[in-house]
A and B are shown apart, each in its own frame.
Chain A
Amino acid sequence: MKADINTAQKKQILIADDDPDILEQMRFRLEAWGFDVCAVESQKKAEEKIKAGKPALAIYDLMMENQDSGFVLSYLTKKMYPDVPVILITSVTSETGFHFDSSTEETREWIKADAVLDKDIRYEQLESEINRLLKG
């Protein structure tokens, strides 16, 4: 089993999304890309996970039990581990027309996330974002 060889250096990614199918697909892809995945379905559980240990990267859905769950989690993550990259997944763009991206320093500071991706996830984009953020 070739995967076992790298188990020791597998990087852990924390993902939180309240849609069980998106969570499962994300977990599946990330594991296939060689990450160790911790998948939770609520803001509450994600908070517990953050407090329990430091992930290499975190991916949060914006709206879970609260409208701004993703913001709260980003803030919390950055406060505890300033060097952990955070990706926010949001359907805000498609559902409300309200748009923001994280390309400017100013919005990054405000939303505390390093990248914002649309809920209609394009996995190539997700993969390249993760690679970019983990390199930096």
Chain B
Amino acid sequence: MKHLQLLAEVTKNVEVGPGIFCLTFTSRELAREARPGQFIMLKVSSAPMIDPVLRRPFSIHKVEGDQVSILFKVVGRGTEILAGENHEVDLLGPLGNGYTIPAKGYLALVGGGLGIAPLLFLAQYCIKLRKDERTLILLGARTAAELAPIKDFRKLGFPIELATDDGSAGHHGFVTHLMTDNMEGADWTVVTCGPQPMMRGVAEQSAANGWECQVSLESVMACGIGACLGCAVRAKNNDSYLHVCRDGPVFNAEEVIL
């Protein structure tokens, strides 16, 4: 797989929920090369070394034709700039290792908060790769408004269950409860992305049931390409570190300490 450095024309930037934006740009090559779970590093300031200097990592959220989207929440200076008017985005990608998707068998996509971002692209992929296999989507958020991006999930036709902390949509409670209620049998593959405590819960529940679980981790990143060694996470089996950008962002839950 080739890593690209390119400038892509922004075609859309829509606020889909409170402070949540879906930014779409044109890149045929990225659309072709990217795999679900991979990310891109975006330069948010317009000039090369003007603040904020470092690029920001974002998961690939959606790919349609040559249109690639990211879904992001405004949390600081960089995402604030991204939420404004941008004619083009300067990006590196696709980066990291994505999900390993089984062609057969039961697959559950468990997302929480902005962690639903990479799961849409994954679900799109499942349509291509395993249309007739059972694929279940479980999504959680604090409140219904944060689940606005699920429109796109619905279009794909896989069964979807929702949970919100405040009960404003779907199940009143955590997304992990949805696992208990909706997943039976012993041959599930679980892929999850979301806040760390949620993923820990999903991983524990998966382990308890003997299901394989893939987690998508976040970490502060200076380079995103394996050069700075800044994105370390603790490995489970010995006293060493793994690197989110190079060894991940998707890991087998058994590999890392969550």
A in complex with B: no
